[in-house]
Amino acid sequence: VTSSLPIAVDGGPDPIPRMRASARRELILAAATSVFADRGYVGATTDQVAKAAGVSQPYVVRMFGTKENLFLEVLQRDLDRLLVVFRAAIADPTESMSLEHRLGLAYVSLLDDDGLLLSLMHGFVLGRDARIGAAARAGFMTVYGMLRHEAGMDAQQASTFLANGMLLNTLIGTRMADDYSTSADVRELLETAMPTKLDVLLNMSKRSR
Amino acid sequence: VTSSLPIAVDGGPDPIPRMRASARRELILAAATSVFADRGYVGATTDQVAKAAGVSQPYVVRMFGTKENLFLEVLQRDLDRLLVVFRAAIADPTESMSLEHRLGLAYVSLLDDDGLLLSLMHGFVLGRDARIGAAARAGFMTVYGMLRHEAGMDAQQASTFLANGMLLNTLIGTRMADDYSTSADVRELLETAMPTKLDVLLNMSKRSR
DNA sequence: GTCTATAGGATGATAGAC
DNA sequence: GTCTATCATCCTATAGAC
């Protein structure tokens, strides 16, 4: 990540930082998403995030104040991305597919975004924590509200859609694809629960061994 | 928890322990289930478990070797209980309800078992950890296998059933019931996703505030 | 803006008495 | 079987130089 960005010049009157703070910020948030996905909120350390982003640990803390703030920003960023993808699917002119199908594909496409779904899932099991719990509930309900009021689903459809999403998240969280080759039941379940994008899951499994 | 169990007698030639090790063990496992449900595997401390069980922290470690072993035993115990409840539902002579409905009620009845579903859920997001991940995958697939091969569901039915279970777990994990009174969407979702046992959820919410 | 050094606090695990 | 005392480690956060 040693890029061609402006570097401080010796003697320059106003040293230019290595990178815009906003770019570093995004870099750190992306790294944090991946680390939190792997280790969970408590299990992840600010040092692991820093190393993944190529900066120092105190810098991460300095930029976000606390680890909790960092995680909250990660959740917000992930949710924002999810909403963007969903809104695109809703507005999609492709009429050959049902809206439900388009949203399903949109959800599964988020697998490409490293750690996004799993970071959210880690937030979803921490309802006990005051701030994280509040953010998780609000985020989850934002998605439900979108399904109900923007996508036009009824309560049952929205609930079923979310249920399948949570199953997918669980299959990612357990790294079920790791056992793909060792059990016929696993193959069957994975192929039933996510016929599309099975290849992505299996690649994730291989990559991070 | 100072009970009427046998206490060591002064001068007795063979001091009787305060409680059978097996009983203490079960006591600690139950306490641990609750604590892990609240804080997650990494977030929970052996000291919190010890306090919840009314024993000393080193004793918890002594009895289970490591915190990881303790969590693995908790997962196994929770899974065993779940399987017992499911097998009972399958064998249930009540023919007025469909098997699927009976299993659904059985699953929801596990809400009464403090922390059981949520402890399992915490295991399900830690696939990255070698031992916990392996246990989580095996446990999850045991349930799937039971649905497929003992309950006679087809792949689609089993997948849908599990999906609804994971949604329920997520609603518990986020403590969504805490927001029951503040949002019509929350009420609608909770009533759609779990018409039965809504009262249990709401009570949990009140109790632990 | 970004780093090095480090303080301060918790936590899992061990030693050893009773 | 169970406890008290304690060690060693790790980790968030702060201080302060450049």
What secondary structure letter does DSSP report for A137? H
pLDDT at A165: 98
Test B127 with A174 for CB contact under 8 angstroms. yes
* Percent of chain A predicted with pLDDT > 70: 91
Please tell me the predicted confidence (pLDDT) of residue A16. 59
Task: Chain A: give the shortest CA distance to residue B167, in Å.
Answer: 5
Contact A167 B166 (CB under 8 A): yes
In this complex, the nucleotide whose C1' atom is nearest to the CA atom of residue B56 is: D3
Q: Tens of pLDDT along A16-38?
A: 566 788 899 999 999 999 999 99
Chain A hits for B187, CB-CB cut-off 8 Å, are: none
pLDDT of residue B17: 67
The pLDDT value given to residue B72: 98
Contacts 24+ apart (CB under 8 A), B50-55: B53/B24, B53/B27, B53/B28, B54/B1, B54/B27, B55/B24, B55/B27, B55/B28
Contact A133 B178 (CB under 8 A): yes
Residue nearest to nucleotide D2 (CA to C1'): B59
Q: Do A163 and B167 touch (CB under 8 A)?
A: yes
Closest nucleotide to B69, Cα to C1': C12
pLDDT, residue B12, reads: 42
Token duo for residue A203: 């690649």
> Which nucleotides in chain C lie closer than 7 A to a protein CB?
1-6, 10-16
> Residue B166 pLDDT more than 50?
yes
**Which residue lies nearest C3, CA-to-C1' measured?**
A56
Answer whether residue B113 shows pLDDT above 60. yes
Per-residue model confidence (pLDDT) at position A2: 38
Dist. CA B99–CA B149, nearest whole Å: 13
Within 8 A of A158 by CB-CB distance, chain B residues are: 189, 192
Note the CA–C1' distance, B24 to C14, in angstroms.
Answer: 22
Name the residue of chain A whose CA is nearest to B193's CA. A159
State residue B26's pLDDT score: 97
Q: What is the pTM of this model?
A: 0.92
- Give dist(CA A96, CA A117) in Å, integer: 27
CA distance readout (Å), B102 to A110, A148, B35, B142, B207: 35, 29, 29, 19, 28
- Inter-chain contact A173–B43, Cβ cutoff 8 Å? no
In angstroms, what separates the C-alpha of A128 from chain B's closest C-alpha?
6
How far apart CA B137 and CA B126 sit, in angstroms, is: 10
Nucleotides of D under 7 A from a protein CB: 1-6, 10-16
In the predicted structure, residue B15 carries a pLDDT above the cut 60:
no
Q: pLDDT digits over B178-207, tens only?
A: 999 999 999 999 999 987 877 777 777 887
Contact B173 A39 (CB under 8 A): no
